[in-house]
């Protein structure tokens, strides 16, 4: 490697010019992460960042000569209300998508040190904290980040503020007993019974010209399912802004071949929808929805079997169930990883005060938003 250099992209034109290198780096990263790809990041920024005076792009790009070897998709924001405000550096789409981190070329371990030095400069240059959220514990970039932070303990203090939960997955490169799983979960019997009682059963892939029909099915079944639950809706579909972002992100991902939107129908009527995302040879089983009237047939399990069947045929190596330790995921997955969120500040009492200010600013902003909704 030649001498590494770092540049910061702070405007829309620079972000657009970066796309070819971004796509190439995302494809080369040995830890495929669809939530760090251009379509996901750019769509989030267009919905929640662009045009807001309190949000400023800060995409850190490390180059080895002319080649981009690392991208940390960051932005700077002002968090809080009134006197309780803090300047926070965090990942674009920090509140959307199950995995965070940075993109890193296979031969660019040293680039992480350059990024950490830059984060330290931001902290000493006026940022209250840097928040690195939903870091996968088994990702190479996370390991290298930890090593670099230890080396810079005199200038940066990392604090793990929350555990991001468990993510279940299965690596099928050594084989996967799909036939055994199908027998255990009575896939054939359930499909046969569904067809006998409701008409011909079919799995429909929605992409390109049929994408909007698939999106309509997903939204309708998702809302119908939550209407049956005695609890408030959660996740990206819980409010209009999050829903608009997600649906636009699906369109952008489909245009680049990264979306698997699959519905199960019986007698021509939609029964369930599976919404998955793909990056490299990893498939993220992101969201699902089903009509409660068909719950007895376990439509989610029927779709999972189909996803595994199609994915294995297409060369998928890892099926990732994303965040959440639900029992229905454990029926198919046999491995897990942990996520963490790390807050970086200056060391010592000054850093402790900065972290406290950040916590108070977040609490003030949440109260303000609740009052606005009320």
* 2-30 per-position pLDDT tens digit: 689 999 999 999 999 999 999 999 999 99
| Two domains, one topology: 4-166+338-373 and 174-316 | yes
- CATH number for the domain formed by residue range(s) 174-316: 3.40.630.30
Mind listing the pLDDT tens digit for each residue in 87-146?
999 999 999 989 999 999 999 999 999 999 999 999 999 999 999 999 999 999 999 999
With CA atoms as reference, report the closest residue to 74 among 34, 28, 116: 116
Domain topology for 4-166+338-373: Aminopeptidase (3.40.630)
Cβ(335)–Cβ(169) below 8 Å: yes
pLDDT given for residue 351 in this prediction: 95
Domain boundaries, the chain: 4-166+338-373, 174-316
pTM of the model: 0.94
Instruction: Quote the tokens at residue 198.
Output: 């409701």
In the three-class reduction of DSSP (H, G, I as helix; E, B as strand; rest coil), residue 354 is classed as helix
In tens, the pLDDT along 137-169 reads 999 999 999 999 999 999 999 998 766 688 999
- Name the DSSP letter for residue 30: S
**pLDDT tens for each residue of 238-279:** 899 999 999 999 999 999 999 999 999 999 999 999 999 999
Q: Mean pLDDT for the chain? A: 94
CA-to-CA distance for 374 and 366, rounded, in angstroms? Answer: 12
**What would the pLDDT profile of 47-67 be if each residue is shown by its tens digit?**
999 999 999 999 999 999 999
């Amino acid at each position: 490697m030649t001498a590494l250099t770092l540049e910061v992209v702070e405007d829309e034109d620079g972000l657009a010019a970066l796309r070819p290198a971004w796509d190439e780096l995302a494809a080369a990263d040995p830890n495929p992460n669809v939530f760090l790809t251009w379509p996901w990041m750019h769509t989030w920024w267009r919905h929640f960042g662009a045009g807001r005076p309190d949000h400023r792009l800060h995409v850190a790009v490390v180059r080895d000569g002319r080649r981009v070897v690392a991208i940390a998709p960051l932005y700077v924001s002002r968090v809080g209300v009134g006197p309780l405000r803090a300047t926070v550096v965090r990942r674009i789409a920090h509140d959307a998508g199950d995995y965070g981190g940075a993109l890193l070329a296979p031969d660019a371990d040293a680039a992480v040190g350059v990024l950490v030095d830059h984060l330290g400069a931001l902290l000493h240059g006026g940022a209250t904290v840097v928040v690195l959220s939903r870091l996968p514990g088994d990702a190479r970039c996370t390991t290298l980040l930890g090593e670099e932070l230890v080396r810079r303990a005199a200038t940066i203090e990392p604090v793990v503020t929350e555990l991001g939960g468990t993510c279940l997955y299965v690596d099928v490169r050594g084989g996967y007993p799909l036939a055994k799983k199908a027998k255990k979960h009575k896939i054939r019997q359930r499909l046969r019974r569904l067809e006998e009682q409701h008409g011909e059963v079919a799995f429909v892939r929605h992409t390109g010209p049929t994408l909007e029909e698939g999106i309509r099915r997903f939204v309708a079944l998702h809302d119908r399912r939550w209407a049956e639950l005695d609890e408030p809706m959660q996740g990206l579909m819980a409010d209009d802004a999050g829903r608009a972002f997600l649906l636009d992100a699906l369109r952008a991902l489909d245009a680049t071949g990264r979306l698997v939107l699959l519905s199960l129908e019986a007698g021509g009527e939609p029964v369930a929808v599976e919404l998955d995302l793909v990056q490299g040879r990893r498939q993220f089983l992101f969201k699902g929805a089903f009509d409660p009237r068909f719950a007895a047939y376990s439509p989610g399990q029927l779709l999972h079997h189909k996803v595994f069947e199609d994915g294995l045929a297409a060369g998928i190596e890892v099926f990732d169930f994303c965040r959440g330790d639900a029992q229905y995921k454990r029926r198919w997955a046999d491995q897990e990883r942990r996520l963490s969120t790390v807050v970086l500040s200056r060391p010592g009492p000054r850093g402790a005060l900065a972290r406290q200010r950040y916590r108070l600013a977040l609490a003030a902003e949440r109260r303000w938003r609740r009052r606005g909704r009320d």
